[in-house]
Chains A and B, each alone.
Chain A
């Protein structure tokens, strides 16, 4: 138990140190994220009459923040796996009886740092566009609960991708497509109630839609599609199921690589 504590401390220390050492990349990533988001958001805003910008801005902003949780988990955890494998670091960690999983999960530190910084800056842009602060929320605790549930899901999903990339090459585009689908159809961008009737069952089947409903309730007080209590239960079940799946799949992957060796196949 004691040893696991030291391991976790080591992993956290490693990722903060790397974050500092790659500071230019870090700043570049924040800037790149903000710019891409602004391009798409400006495009989307062209569909809305200026009089409605104030009303839509917080929903759009929080949708984007939630999407950032998803895409940064995918890219900072899943995408980094190739580097981790190709540099022989999987073997080096296994030799110290350390599973690659916590090291990969630790990349969430980098991903969340970029997400946080980029979100704050995008919030400033939105505040300018909407003419009022978009970061004032209705219930911060509920927002936090929703984001924790979402982060659990996205990190688990990223780990599933990471596990897959030990065995197969995963093209980055496929991940982007999945992310975009989750954004629009998965209820991250808009409340499920605002989606066309036919698409709602799809959104309900996508796990992220549920914490997104919780977050929106916390931000604007919008009643979640299935009610707050139900959404909390469903989100918890989805989060646990995804985390458990990631654990099982990674265990199997570790067995697989012991049988077949570690090969850097999963470039994303």
Chain B
């Protein structure tokens, strides 16, 4: 009987649970990360300059909450790209890749769905971690804003998964010790202007940033953190951009995966 998508996700949820159970520190560390980043940026910035300058430059009402939310977005994007893009590589190290590929269903389904529960969990954890911070600064409204950002993060996850699968396809073909495309994660984040307005980047980089989903997620977060009630029209625009990117990236990903699967099977680097 062929495996269904639910079978793959169920198995993956179980393995994620078992892994976290046996690596508790990792579980707790996910909660600490956004605060760590916020601390780093704030401490550095305030030692070098002032919070007021930051507020003026970015034109936001609550810089601390904004940095916290941005850190959450950085972490969740990082987790998605990292988990999905390195999943195939990780399975190759473990020697479990051939068995994953032997699952009686289409290969792209396995490679896309298998890392998804872990990616969703990691992203949700990163965003939920900043809940106390959001509530501290803006009470229930802060929690509401965070929920809104979380929804956009989930939406942003769809094109990111496609993008990550393209990276995974590349790394599968090459024999390297680590994910040699890991520079793409900070590149995407750099171009998305997580902690600064993208206007500080050269024009060409600003143009490039439009093809990465994180830009729209960051902008949505910025809108939410800037206004008491975010502008719905602006948000809808960003959501539309994310939907278009989802279609483009996932379409390309399925093609890339097919090609890399053929190449990998031909060269036998599994």
- Is there direct touching of A and B in the complex, by C-beta distance under 8 Å? yes
Q: Does A141 contact B (CB under 8 A)?
A: no
CB-CB nearest in chain A for B178: A25
Q: Does A198 contact B (CB under 8 A)?
A: no
Residues A40-96 near B (CB distance < 8 A): 40, 42-49, 52, 56, 60
Residues B15-50 near A (CB distance < 8 A): 23, 25-26, 29, 32-33, 36, 39-41, 43-50
* A28-B41 CB under 8 A given contacts A44-B48, A47-B50, A194-B47: no
Interface of B is mostly: helix
Which listed residue, A38, A46, A49, A183, touches B190 by the CB 8 Å rule? A38
Q: Does A171 contact B (CB under 8 A)?
A: yes
Q: Are A47 and B26 in contact (CB under 8 A)?
A: no
Chain B interface residue number, banded? 35 or more
Q: Are A43 and B177 in contact (CB under 8 A)?
A: no
* A173-B186 CB under 8 A given contacts A39-B195, A43-B195, A189-B47: no
Interface of A is mostly: helix
CB-CB nearest in chain A for B181: A28
For the A-B complex, the count of residue pairs with Cβ-Cβ distances under 8 Å equals: 118
Q: Are B180 and A24 in contact (CB under 8 A)?
A: yes
Which listed residue, B32, B44, B195, touches A173 by the CB 8 Å rule? B32
- Complex Cα gap A46–B25 (Å): 34
CB-CB nearest in chain B for A36: B186
Q: Are A171 and B53 in contact (CB under 8 A)?
A: no
Which listed residue, A49, A60, A173, touches B25 by the CB 8 Å rule? A173
Q: Are A184 and B41 in contact (CB under 8 A)?
A: no
- Complex Cα gap A38–B202 (Å): 13
- Complex Cα gap A42–B195 (Å): 7
- Complex Cα gap A56–B53 (Å): 15
Q: Are A184 and B43 in contact (CB under 8 A)?
A: yes
* A47-B49 CB under 8 A given contacts A39-B189, A42-B195: yes
| Residues from chain A with Cβ under 8 Å of B190 in the complex | 35, 38-39, 42
Q: Does B90 contact A (CB under 8 A)?
A: no
- Complex Cα gap A42–B180 (Å): 25
- Interface residues of A, CB < 8 Å — how many? 38
Q: Are B182 and A32 in contact (CB under 8 A)?
A: yes
Residues A141-180 near B (CB distance < 8 A): 169, 171-174, 176-177, 180
* A43-B49 CB under 8 A given contacts A22-B177, A174-B29: no
Which listed residue, B53, B174, B196, touches A43 by the CB 8 Å rule? B196
Residues of B within 8 A of A (CB): 23, 25-26, 29, 32-33, 36, 39-41, 43-51, 53-54, 57-58, 67, 174, 176-183, 185-187, 189-190, 194-196, 200
Q: 4 new A-B pairs (CB below 8 Å) besides A22-B177, A44-B41, A47-B44?
A: A24-B176, A28-B180, A35-B189, A40-B40
